Structure 1
Amino acid sequence: MTPDSQDRPQCANSDALASSFSASYAGVVAFIAVATEGSFARAGDRLGIGRSAVSRSVQKLEAQLGTRLFLRTTRSTTLTREGELFYRNCHPGVERIVQALEDMRDLREGPPRGQLRISATVGFGRRIVAPLLSGFRERYPNIAVDLLLDDRTTDFSAERVDVAFRNGRMEDSQIIAKQLIPMPMLICASPTYRHTHGLPRQVEDLAAHNCINFRTASGRIFEWEFKVGGRIQKFLPSSTCTFNDEELVLQAVLDGQGIAQMAGYQISEHLRTGRLVACLAQYAPDDRGHYLCYLSRQQLPARIRVFIDFMTAGIRALDLQCATGLTPILPVPASKVSAAFTASVA
């Protein structure tokens, strides 16, 4: 016997099963409707089809089962003994299917409820997202929240994530990315450091300062970025300290150990209170942002829609626009800055 001939009976059985299911499903639904309503006409009204269509579906089911399911007279329609047995066996399954359909409709249109899995980078998630969750849970107590903090790029499918917060520039065209706020990147120092060492007035001055670097989740050192002559330039300074945690970078700067380039959401409060000062603001890149990401705009469950709306309003209400009102140091000509970048790379 060849492998093909061995496979043939299984394929035939699968086709028979598929054919049987497709033929019987409509009959079972029609049968349950007639049994529940006690009439073919009322069953048709409930299903939104004609009486004759209901009758044909039931007749096909009876032929498939090889037994009569109803006793029909001009005045009544009642179940046979076999019909009663079949009804008892089928009814729970059909009820579960109906309930499943209603549950899906409720998730889309009803009061928000269910499990919501969220992903965010460690720094932004801890400092911005997590504090807003208590207000969200208070407003929507039937939504259970699962927050994952990870600096790696989110895999929506593998990690079963509903919504993700991402920072920087969005290059993934497969997801919907809604910018919440811009993400200014500023060079900062403590007043103590400024008093002792001064501040860089141009990019080439960074080589003379104690720089503190951040190591990303991939293991590489985060490159400082500046916008020079309308173009993004990257710069990797020599560092006195390197950390793989953004909070440790911030704390080192607050302690006066050096200067670092940090995101606005980390430093806005410290800039307002004077615990930090910023410099080189005229070269801050302006094409970064904080984004709320999800896979599709279509058929979003209510729990995801209300979370998106709540977080968008909540984050935009925070005063994180730390670059506003900064007095920029007089810029150096772009040609000189570009030369400084070339020298630093070399």
Structure 2
Amino acid sequence: MTPDSQDRSHCANSDALAATFSASYAGVVAFIAVATEGSFARAGDRLGVGRSAVSRSVQKLESQLGTRLFLRTTRHTTLTREGELFYRNCHPGVERIVQALEDMRDLREGPPRGQLRISAMGGFGRRIVAPLLNGFRARYPEIAVDLMLDDRPTDFSADRIDVAFRDGHLGDSQVIAKQLIPMPMLVCASPAYRQARGLPRQVEDLPEHSCVNFRTASGRISEWEFKVDGRVQKFQPSSTCTFNDDELVLQAVLDGHGIAQMPGYQVSEHLRAGRLVACLAQYAPNDRGHYLCYLSRLQLPARIRVFIDYMTTAVRALDLECATGLAPVPPAISREPRQTSAAGRG
């Protein structure tokens, strides 16, 4: 047999298999409907097709099996012995298919339930997301939550992430990014540090101070960012302490070991309580914004939709935009339109 004839034979076999499977599947569905309803007409009503279409599907199935499945009279339709055996073997599989379809419909339209996989950056996840999960779980007890703290860029597909919390917009154009709150970056110190060392009045003063740095998940030291004379200026001070955890950076500043540039949500409570003071507000960079990210607005399962709605409301109610202790921003900067940076920490 030549390669061409082999290819033609393979295609013919494939087409025959496809046709056989299609006919068999339609026939089995029609057969189960007739056996359950006890009538070709009622089976047609249940399947949304005519009685004749159901009859043709069953006849094709009987031809494939080489046996009669029903005894038909003008008044009754009953299973043959072979039909009873076939029904017992097919029914569990069809029931599982029907149940699978109903489960998918419930996930979309029914009470929210199922597994929800969430990713958040370490500091935001510990300080903001994790505490709010108690209220969410109380409201939606049938949703199981899996929270991953990870400062690396989110790979929704590889990590099977449903929702991610991130600073700034993600690079993936398919990702929907919904801003939850502003995220200003603030240079802060403890009152004890201010009393002992004073505070920088301009960016050029930073080398004279003890600085606490943050090491990102990629291993690099996060640069401090400012806006000087309308231009972005990045600065990486020499540090007395460097940590790869936001909370350790914060604790070092609270303990008076130095100053650090930190996100507003992390320091707002301490600024209000007077445990921290802020400086260099006149050089504050553009607001990065903190975002809730997911893959699509279309066909979102109920568990994802209710989580997005709940967290949006809950996070915005936390009053994380505290500006206590900040010096007035010069008019030239305050009039400038605020933009969202596409870059985020980590």
Query: Could you state the TM-score of these two structures normalised by the residue count of structure 1?
Result: 0.90
Question: For residues 211 and 324 of structure 2, what CA distance do their matches in structure 1 show?
Answer: 24
Asked if the contact 2:189/2:253 (under 8 Å) is kept, the reply is yes
User: Which residue in 2 is equivalent to 1:112?
Assistant: 112
Identity percentage of aligned residues: 85
Q: Structure 1 residues 169, 293: CA separation in 2 closer, same or farther (over 3 Å shift)? A: closer
For residues 271-282 of structure 1, the aligned pairs below 5 Å read 271-282=271-282
User: Which residue in 1 is equivalent to 2:95?
Assistant: 95
Asked if the contact 1:280/1:328 (under 8 Å) is kept, the reply is no
Output the amino acid matched with 2:133: L
Number of aligned residue pairs: give it. Answer: 333
Asked if the contact 2:278/2:325 (under 8 Å) is kept, the reply is no
User: Which residue in 2 is equivalent to 1:342?
Assistant: none
User: Which residue in 1 is equivalent to 2:266?
Assistant: 266
Deviations 1:262-290 (A, max 9, x none): 00111001000001000111221233011
User: Which residue in 2 is equivalent to 1:131?
Assistant: 131
Asked if the contact 2:277/2:325 (under 8 Å) is kept, the reply is no
Q: Displacement of 1:9 after TM fit?
A: 6.7
Question: For residues 300 and 57 of structure 2, what CA distance do their matches in structure 1 show?
Answer: 35
Question: For residues 322 and 316 of structure 2, what CA distance do their matches in structure 1 show?
Answer: 13
Asked if the contact 2:185/2:287 (under 8 Å) is kept, the reply is no
Q: Structure 1 residues 21, 231: CA separation in 2 closer, same or farther (over 3 Å shift)? A: farther
Question: For residues 4 and 208 of structure 1, what CA distance do their matches in structure 2 show?
Answer: 81
Structure 1 segments of 4 or more deviating over 4 A? 1-15, 329-333
Deviations 1:187-236 (A, max 9, x none): 00011111111111111111211111100000001011112344432211
Q: Displacement of 1:114 after TM fit?
A: 0.8
For residues 182-331 of structure 1, the aligned pairs below 5 Å read 182-323=182-323, 326-328=326-328
Deviations 1:27-57 (A, max 9, x none): 1111111111111111111111111111111
Q: Displacement of 1:132 after TM fit?
A: 0.6
Q: Structure 1 residues 169, 42: CA separation in 2 closer, same or farther (over 3 Å shift)? A: closer
Asked if the contact 1:156/1:162 (under 8 Å) is kept, the reply is yes
Q: Displacement of 1:251 after TM fit?
A: 0.8
Q: Displacement of 1:163 after TM fit?
A: 0.9
- Are residues 1:149 and 2:149 paired? yes
Question: For residues 291 and 70 of structure 1, what CA distance do their matches in structure 2 show?
Answer: 61
Question: For residues 136 and 173 of structure 2, what CA distance do their matches in structure 1 show?
Answer: 29
Output the amino acid matched with 1:238: S
Q: Displacement of 1:137 after TM fit?
A: 0.8
Q: Structure 1 residues 110, 330: CA separation in 2 closer, same or farther (over 3 Å shift)? A: closer
Q: SS of 2:96's equivalent?
A: helix
Question: For residues 261 and 193 of structure 2, what CA distance do their matches in structure 1 show?
Answer: 15
Question: For residues 208 and 328 of structure 2, what CA distance do their matches in structure 1 show?
Answer: 20
- Worse-superposed segment, 61-70 or 209-218: 61-70
User: Which residue in 2 is equivalent to 1:162?
Assistant: 162
Question: For residues 283 and 178 of structure 2, what CA distance do their matches in structure 1 show?
Answer: 25
Q: Displacement of 1:322 after TM fit?
A: 2.2
Q: Displacement of 1:150 after TM fit?
A: 1.0
Q: Displacement of 1:62 after TM fit?
A: 1.3
For residues 2-41 of structure 1, the aligned pairs below 5 Å read 13-41=13-41
Question: For residues 279 and 330 of structure 1, what CA distance do their matches in structure 2 show?
Answer: 13
Deviations 1:42-84 (A, max 9, x none): 1111111111111111111112222211111111111111111
Extract unaligned runs of 5+ from structure 1: 334-346
Question: For residues 315 and 7 of structure 2, what CA distance do their matches in structure 1 show?
Answer: 59
Q: SS of 2:296's equivalent?
A: coil
Question: For residues 198 and 4 of structure 2, what CA distance do their matches in structure 1 show?
Answer: 81
Q: Structure 1 residues 283, 90: CA separation in 2 closer, same or farther (over 3 Å shift)? A: same
Question: For residues 332 and 97 of structure 2, what CA distance do their matches in structure 1 show?
Answer: 70
- Worse-superposed segment, 98-107 or 277-286: 277-286
Asked if the contact 2:44/2:50 (under 8 Å) is kept, the reply is yes
User: Which residue in 2 is equivalent to 1:85?
Assistant: 85
Question: For residues 6 and 161 of structure 2, what CA distance do their matches in structure 1 show?
Answer: 43
Asked if the contact 2:272/2:324 (under 8 Å) is kept, the reply is no
Asked if the contact 1:281/1:323 (under 8 Å) is kept, the reply is no
Cα RMSD, aligned residues only: 2.1
Query: Could you state the TM-score of these two structures normalised by the residue count of structure 2?
Result: 0.90
Question: For residues 177 and 135 of structure 1, what CA distance do their matches in structure 2 show?
Answer: 23
